[in-house]
């Protein structure tokens, strides 16, 4: 495939045009309002022809969902915006350790934590795949390996080789970094070929494409997401954790809008608390990449304490609470 295929240029231009039209031009993707979120409003419709099909039964009608599970259901569908449901968020988390100086002891600790908390996977560099696979055997926790990490500037065949070797060593998922330079050069044929070759080399493992959204314009994000879908990837992912910026609610919402329900969306980079993870989930994330996984699940498991009012029978004496001070920007997220 040539580096500047005119047919590919036309395809990408048409995709970008249609996506922009569908999203309403420059209209914001996330609208903030004063009304309470739908998930916090009890359902009054009931299981009848009047159901609005909001997809939020797990939080608006939990008793109905429990009855369905009791009858034998093993999986319950839920719509975007469900937020926190009964239970924890551990099954969404890729427990991650990608530092260059990570040791075998660090990986052993990572895998022990993943076993304990039942995370979806551990995500490691390819050199640690055999060790992680051995440590997690029988646990149900997958091994995920990064490819072309963290720059993504390698040749497509080099990435494909690395992915193939990782899968042979036991990786069940591959997180590859997109060729950012080719994307910014509008060399979409190379971007497509790069992803497609890794997808083919990784079978039967699933492939996530890391876009490094903090370094991309809105148009580049749209094109990168679309090319990932066309090339056969299974997930799109925000960040490496080593680049500028990290996961944002707006980027997750954009990804989910473009890939629909058939692909996964992974939020990574700067997700450190239960609140962060819940916001990403509500925006459409189906997987969370984090090194602070243990503190996230512990935060989700700990109910928020609410102080009892000092004057329960005399509300006019209660002090009005000041609105919380916004958390200052953390700057560049930690590199996992």
Give the rounded distance of the alpha carbon of 10 from its chain centre: 30
| Active-site residue, 175 included | yes
Active-site residue (options: 88, 94, 175, 194): 175
CA–CA gap between residue 69 and residue 76 (Å, rounded):
8
Read off the DSSP letter of residue 92: G
Active-site residue (options: 159, 229, 266, 279): 266
| Active-site residue, 237 included | yes
Q: Which helix (H) or strand (E) holds 106?
A: helix 104-117
CA–CA gap between residue 201 and residue 116 (Å, rounded):
32
Residue in 127, 170, 117, 120 with CA at minimum distance from that of residue 147 = 127
Pair 226, 258: CB distance under 8 Å: yes
| Active-site residue, 109 included | no
Active-site residue (options: 133, 197, 237, 279): 237
DSSP of 264-323:
EEEEESS--SHHHHHHHHHHT-SEEEES-HHHHHHHHHSPPP-PPPS-TT-GGGSPPPPP
Q: Percentages helix, strand, coil for the chain, rounded to the nearest 5?
A: 45, 10, 45
Just list the catalytic residues.
Answer: 175, 237, 266
């Amino acid at each position: 495939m040539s580096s500047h295929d005119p047919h590919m240029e036309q395809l990408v231009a048409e995709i970008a045009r249609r996506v922009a039209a569908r999203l309403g031009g420059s209209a914001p993707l996330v609208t903030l309002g004063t009304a309470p979120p739908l998930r916090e409003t009890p359902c009054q419709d009931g299981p009848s022809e009047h159901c609005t099909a909001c997809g939020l039964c797990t939080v608006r009608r939990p008793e109905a969902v429990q009855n369905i599970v009791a009858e034998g259901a093993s999986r319950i569908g839920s719509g975007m915006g469900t937020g926190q449901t009964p239970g924890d968020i551990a099954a969404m988390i890729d427990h991650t350790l990608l530092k260059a100086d990570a040791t075998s002891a660090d990986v052993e600790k990572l895998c022990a934590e993943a076993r304990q908390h039942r995370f979806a996977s551990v995500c490691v560099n390819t050199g640690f795949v055999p060790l992680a696979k051995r440590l997690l055997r029988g646990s149900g926790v997958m091994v995920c390996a990064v490819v072309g990490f963290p720059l993504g500037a390698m040749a497509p065949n080099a990435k494909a080789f690395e992915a193939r070797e990782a899968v042979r060593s036991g990786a069940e998922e591959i997180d590859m970094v997109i060729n950012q330079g080719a994307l910014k050069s509008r060399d979409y044929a190379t971007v497509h070929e790069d992803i497609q070759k890794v997808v083919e080399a990784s079978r039967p493992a699933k492939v996530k494409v890391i876009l490094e959204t903090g370094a991309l314009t809105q148009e580049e994000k749209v094109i990168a997401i679309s090319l990932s879908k066309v090339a056969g990837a299974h997930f799109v992912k925000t960040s490496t954790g080593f680049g500028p910026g990290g996961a944002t609610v707006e980027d997750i919402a954009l990804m989910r809008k473009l890939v629909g329900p058939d692909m996964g969306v992974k939020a990574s980079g700067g997700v450190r608390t239960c609140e962060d993870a819940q916001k990403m989930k509500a925006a459409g994330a189906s997987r969370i990449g984090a090194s602070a996984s243990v503190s996230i699940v512990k935060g989700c498991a700990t109910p928020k304490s609410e102080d009892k009012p000092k004057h329960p029978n005399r509300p006019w004496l209660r002090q009005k609470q000041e609105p919380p001070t916004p958390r200052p920007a953390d700057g560049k997220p930690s590199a996992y």
